[in-house]
Structure 1
Amino acid sequence: MLPGHRRSRSPGALARGLAVLTAASAALVAGPGVQQAHAASPCPGRVADSVSFPTGELRVYRGGGKVCAVTVARNPGPRRAMSVSLQTRGGRAVVDAGRFGRHAGPVTVHPLGRCVRATGSVSGVTRSTGWILC
């Protein structure tokens, strides 16, 4: 403690401090905002490619020897038909399809030096990357 300063021991000071901390915590957790817009990605690594379309966006990530893909709805909310698939050249596609409110996926493959193709769909609108990361 610095000379000349007194430590406040009043219950009011403690209550005010607790109220400030509670308000700050609530602001971080509250509804859609900047923090949620930049939420952590469901896939590890960096974005290698993305394809935007009217109802959503297909994102492909690359890192740690893996390629990962996710389809994100443009307007999260009610569940609707969504899918994401990721395929290495010469291999079978890994697919996540169903009715989702926010995103389909993630799906992951180990490309082992081969090209990959990702396809995403939201509400019947489908887009693909073509063969990438060759």
Structure 2
Amino acid sequence: MFGGVSNRTLVGLAVVAAAGGLVVFGPGGGSADAAAACAGRPVKTVGFSTGELRLYKGNGYACAVTAAKNPGARRQMSVAIQARGSAPAGDSGSYTRMAGPVTVHSGNRCVRATGAIAGSAVETGWVC
């Protein structure tokens, strides 16, 4: 007991608070959600038939997301990002809105990203 409140109640409140944080800060669709998902400033956006690949950089890190143009039905989506001289990191799966965010340490190095939704793919090329 903590001041008349049971441990079970405290755990329940912690779960509710954590779930609320996920709703507020978690990834979703649309520009505002993708911007919230990635730290840094947007450096390149590449549109394609089914969505957009967005690349952000800041404070020595780079982040990428692939966002669906029309969120809704589950479909195969992927995003990958690579700092020059390092291995790529990525996210792939069946999503309704967005793949990613995926973040890598880039320092002052150039980065590139690729994204795909339902078979349509795009890449940024090297961005320095």
User: Please, what TM-score do these two structures have when normalized by structure 2?
Assistant: 0.72
Change (3 A) 1:115 1:38: closer
Change (3 A) 1:50 1:112: same
Matches within 5 A, 1:1-134: 39-40=32-33, 41=35, 42-133=37-128
How far apart in 1 are the matches of 2:44 and 2:99?
17
Report which of the two structures shows the higher radius of gyration computed on alpha carbons: 1
Secondary structure of the 2:32 match is coil
After superposition, the CA RMSD in angstroms is 1.4
| Structure 1 residue ranges (4+ consecutive) displaced by more than 4 angstroms after TM superposition | none
Q: Deviations over 1:83-107 (max 9, x none)?
A: 0000011211101000000000000
Corresponding residue number in structure 2 for 1:25: none
Please tell me whether the aligned partners of residues 30 and 67 of structure 2 are also in contact (alpha carbons under 8 angstroms). Answer: no
How far apart in 2 are the matches of 1:38 and 1:119?
18
How far apart in 1 are the matches of 2:76 and 2:49?
14
1:39 Cα deviation from its structure 2 partner = 3.1
Identity of aligned residues (%): 52
How far apart in 1 are the matches of 2:46 and 2:94?
21
Change (3 A) 1:50 1:131: same
Secondary structure of the 1:91 match is coil
1:123 Cα deviation from its structure 2 partner = 0.7
> Unaligned stretches of 5+ in structure 2?
1-28
User: Please, what TM-score do these two structures have when normalized by structure 1?
Assistant: 0.69
